[in-house]
C-alpha cells in the first residue's frame, strides 16, 4: 500500500508522522511512504535523515489582520492546492495522514475531495485551526488528549490515541543515560531544554540557577543552537563558576539518554515533549511558551499539572530563586518526586502509534 504523510514546520508535527511511518513499515515491509512538507520547515532535515522521501509544496499561514500579505497567502494557497493535486495524481496514495502544520490543509483537502481515505492527528490539548477545519472532511480524527475531544464538532470521528513517540526512547536505562551524557551516577541530574531553537528566558534563568546550586546537583542545559553563544557569554559576564557537575550544550540528538538520565526536566510544553517525558516517567517543571498559537502549550501543561505529574510556571513568573526552591524541594523529598514520576507514567500512551495504525487500516 501507499501512504502519504502531510505535516511539517516544527518537530512537533514531524516526529509523530515519522513514528507512525515506522509503525507502518514494522507491519508492512513493502509499504511505500511519501512525506509532503514545505521548503522552509524542519521536515527538510528530519525526514530525509530518517530515510523517507519528501516532496514540498507552497503554503503560507493566514494572518489575522487583512493586508497585502493576505493576497499573497491566497495566491500561495491556490498554488499549494495545485501542487498537492499533482503529487496525489503522481503518487496515487491509498491513504493520506495529516499530522499538523499549514501543509496539511491543501493536501488533506484535495485528498478528501478525491475520495482518498484521510486521517488527521492532533497533538495538542487545544486543537489548531487547520485540524479543526479539516475534521469536517476527513474520515477519522486521532487526538492525544481526552481534553481535545470537546473542540471538534464531529465527535463521532474523534478517537483518543495519544501521541506517537519514538520507541528508542524507551530502551535506555538511567545508568546508561548518565554514562552516555558523562554525568555521575550518584548525584541527581536536572535538565533544562527550550526546544531546537532555544528559549532565552529559560536559558538565562538557568544561568542564574547555577549561581545557587550546590555540588550535590548536576545540571545539563540544552540551550538550542541559536542561543548557545548567548548563554556562554552570559555565564562569562555573570562570572558563573562551571565545574564538572555542569554541562552546557547547544543541541542533543540523543534525547533518549536525556530522558533516561534526568531526575527533573525543566522545559516547554510542546505535545511531543510531554508525550516523551510521560512515557519515560520523568518529573517535570513546565514553562509553556507564550508565543504559540492559541496558547496551546499552557493547555498541554495543565493536563500534566492536573494529573500531578508536573509543576507549571508561566514564563512571566519565571524567577531563578523560585525555580531553585521547587527543584530542591523535589530532590529533598524523594517520595514526592517518585509520585510525580508514577503520575506521569499513568497518563502516558506508549502504544499510540499502534492505535493509529489500526485506525488507518480501518479506513482503507
- Write out pLDDT tens, residues 208-220: 999 999 889 999 9
Do residues 50 and 18 touch, judged by C-beta distance below 8 A? yes
Q: Could you check whether 2-163+350-362 and 168-347 share the same CATH topology?
A: yes
312-319 mean pLDDT: 96
Sign of dihedral through CA atoms 235, 236, 238, 242? positive
What per-residue confidence (pLDDT) applies to 253? Answer: 84
- What integer is the mean pLDDT of 239-258? 92
pLDDT digits (tens, 9 = 90+) for 255-278: 999 999 999 999 999 999 999 999
Terminal alpha carbon distance of the chain: 10
Distance, CA of 195 to CA of 193 (rounded, Å): 6
pLDDT digits (tens, 9 = 90+) for 346-355: 999 999 999 9
For the segment(s) 2-163+350-362, the CATH number from 3.40.50.1820, 3.40.50.1000, 3.30.70.360, 3.40.50.2000 is 3.40.50.2000
- What pLDDT, on the 0 to 100 scale, is given for residue 79? 85
Q: Which three cell numbers stand for residue 272?
A: 511531543
**Every domain of the chain and the residues it spans:** 2-163+350-362, 168-347
Give DSSP secondary structure letters for 58-78.
---PPPSS-SHHHHHHHHHHH
Determine contact, residues 310/287, Cβ cutoff 8 Å: no
More confident residue, 49 or 129: 49
Domain 168-347 belongs to what architecture? Answer: 3-Layer(aba) Sandwich (3.40)
Q: Tell which wins on pLDDT, 172 or 78.
A: 172
Amino acid at each position: 500500500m501507499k501512504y502519504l504523510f502531510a505535516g511539517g514546520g516544527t518537530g512537533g508535527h514531524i516526529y509523530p508522522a515519522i513514528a507512525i511511518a515506522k509503525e507502518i513499515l514494522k507491519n508492512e515491509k513493502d509499504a511505500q511512504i511519501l512525506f509532503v512538507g514545505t521548503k522552509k520547515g524542519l521536515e527538510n532535515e528530519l525526514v530525509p535523515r530518517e530515510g523517507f522521501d519528501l516532496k514540498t509544496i507552497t503554503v503560507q499561514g493566514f494572518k489575522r489582520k487583512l493586508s497585502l500579505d493576505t493576497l499573497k497567502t491566497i495566491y500561495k494557497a491556490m498554488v499549494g492546492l495545485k501542487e498537492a493535486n499533482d503529487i496525489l495524481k503522481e503518487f496515487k496514495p491509498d491513504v493520506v495522514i495529516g499530522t499538523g502544520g499549514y501543509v496539511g490543509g491543501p493536501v488533506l483537502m484535495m485528498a478528501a475531495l478525491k475520495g482518498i481515505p484521510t486521517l488527521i492527528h492532533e497533538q495538542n490539548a487545544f486543537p489548531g485551526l487547520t485540524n479543526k477545519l479539516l475534521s469536517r472532511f476527513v474520515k477519522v480524527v486521532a487526538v492525544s488528549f481526552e481534553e481535545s475531544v470537546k473542540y471538534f464538532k464531529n465527535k463521532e470521528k474523534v478517537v483518543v490515541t495519544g501521541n506517537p513517540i519514538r520507541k528508542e526512547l524507551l530502551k535506555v536505562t538511567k545508568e546508561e543515560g548518565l554514562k552516555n551524557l558523562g554525568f555521575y551516577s550518584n548525584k541527581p541530574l536536572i535538565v533544562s531544554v527550550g526546544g531546537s531553537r532555544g528559549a532565552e528566558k529559560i536559558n538565562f534563568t538557568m544561568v542564574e540557577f547555577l549561581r545557587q546550586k550546590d555540588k550535590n546537583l548536576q545540571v545539563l542545559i540544552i540551550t538550542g543552537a541559536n542561543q548557545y553563544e548567548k548563554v556562554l557569554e552570559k555565564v562569562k559576564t555573570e562570572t558563573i563558576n562551571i565545574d564538572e557537575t555542569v554541562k552546557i550544550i547547544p543541541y542533543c540528538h540523543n534525547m533518549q539518554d536525556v530522558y533516561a538520565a534526568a531526575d527533573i526536566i525543566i522545559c516547554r510544553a510542546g505535545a511531543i515533549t510531554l508525550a516523551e517525558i510521560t512515557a519515560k516517567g520523568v518529573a517535570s517543571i513546565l514553562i509553556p511558551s507564550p508565543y504559540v498559537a492559541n496558547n496551546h502549550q499552557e493547555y498541554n501543561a495543565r493536563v500534566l499539572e492536573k494529573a500531578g505529574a508536573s509543576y507549571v510556571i508561566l514564563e512571566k513568573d519565571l524567577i531563578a530563586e523560585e525555580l531553585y526552591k521547587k527543584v530542591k524541594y523535589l530532590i529533598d523529598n524523594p517520595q514526592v518526586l517518585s509520585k510525580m514520576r508514577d503520575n506521569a507514567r499513568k497518563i502516558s500512551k506508549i502504544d499510540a502509534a499502534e492505535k493509529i495504525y489500526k485506525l488507518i487500516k480501518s479506513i482503507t
